[in-house]
Amino acid sequence: MPVKVQLDRIGMAFATPGGTFRAVAPLDLAIETGRFVSLVGPSGCGKSTLFNVIAGLLQPTEGRVLIDDEDATGTIGRVGYMLQKDLLLPWRTVLDNVILGMEIQGKPLKQARERALPLLRKYGLAGFEHLYPNSLSGGMRQRAALLRTLLFDTDVILLDEPFGALDAQTKSQMQEWLMQLWSDFRKTVVFVTHDVDEAIYLSDEIHVMGTRPGRILETIQIPIARPRPRAVTLSPDFTAIKERCLQLLTADRPALEAA
């Protein structure tokens, strides 16, 4: 598999009154085309910082971001980025929210709407197209936000804890929904989460991250065959991977307390 996104010695440091604070140690990361990759780690491990760097919203202190072997450090509009909040615009209908990316790219509105409508219907937002976001439930809003990210035609999408605020029931529904979208659209997905179960269930590959400075502790492959039924979360393979992840995350904790 060719590499889609490559982080080349990316590091992040901030000047503080007490000296330089290292948020992210120089790290390398290669994400292959079409894979579902998760970053798991405690708060403050630099996951969100890395996302902002990949999206071009933050200039790294050192290193380069390569997308399709091209230097994309500090360039915006190269990847789809879904932030934790859905950020739907309250004065636009769901349909007009979803086409925001295409609209900004200069696509005629009519064309953009024609493209989006069948997808909204196919992916669980039928009947909501012309409603305003304030009449939608949290799960529905998240769906709209994700479709907006997908319809912004980039090969790579970054999802920053998209299901973090949802209840367990809605969350597992949304995970299956996301799996369907991913297999239909064939995008490269980078996913950030706190939830180890979620990361293992969804991903091909997990990067477990540690704090102070933010760094990758270990990369774990998930060789579980797809499609994955829910029951897979109870299988010995799954449990073994989960154990390893938790071990890594727990082992990293004393460093946090000592600092």
> From the CB of 161, what's the least distance to another protein, in Å?
13
Q: Which is nearer to another protein, 78 or 171 (CB)?
A: 78
Site for another protein in 1-60 (CB under 8 A): 52, 55-57
Q: Which is nearer to another protein, 43 or 134 (CB)?
A: 134
Angle between helices 138-151 and 109-122 (to 10 degrees): 130
Q: Which is nearer to another protein, 28 or 153 (CB)?
A: 153
> From the CB of 253, what's the least distance to another protein, in Å?
29
Interface residue with another protein among 31, 45, 65, 100 (CB under 8 A) is 100
**CA–CA separation, 64 vs 54, rounded Å?**
9
Decide if 75 contacts 56 (C-beta within 8 A): yes
Residue 97's Cβ-count burial label (10 Å; 0-12, 13-18, 19+) is buried
Q: What is the CA radius of gyration of the chain?
A: 19
Interface residue with another protein among 123, 132, 177, 185 (CB under 8 A) is 132
Interface residue with another protein among 42, 44, 77, 164 (CB under 8 A) is 77
Site for another protein in 137-196 (CB under 8 A): 152
Site for another protein in 101-130 (CB under 8 A): 101, 103-105
Peptide bond into 213 cis (omega under 30): yes
> From the CB of 97, what's the least distance to another protein, in Å?
11
Decide if 29 contacts 156 (C-beta within 8 A): no
> From the CB of 60, what's the least distance to another protein, in Å?
16
Output the DSSP codes for 24-76.
EEEEEEEEETT-EEEEE--TTSSHHHHHHHHTTSS--SEEEEEETTEE-TT--
Decide if 163 contacts 175 (C-beta within 8 A): yes
> From the CB of 59, what's the least distance to another protein, in Å?
13
Q: Which is nearer to another protein, 79 or 216 (CB)?
A: 79
**CA–CA separation, 221 vs 241, rounded Å?**
9
Report if residue 255 touches another protein, rule: CB under 8 A.
no
Size, binding site for another protein by CB under 8 A: 24
CA 96 vs CA 22, 37, 61, 116, 136: distances in Å: 41, 30, 37, 9, 15
Which positions lie near another protein, rule CB under 8 A? Answer: 52, 55-57, 76-81, 83, 85, 87, 89-91, 100-101, 103-105, 132, 134, 152
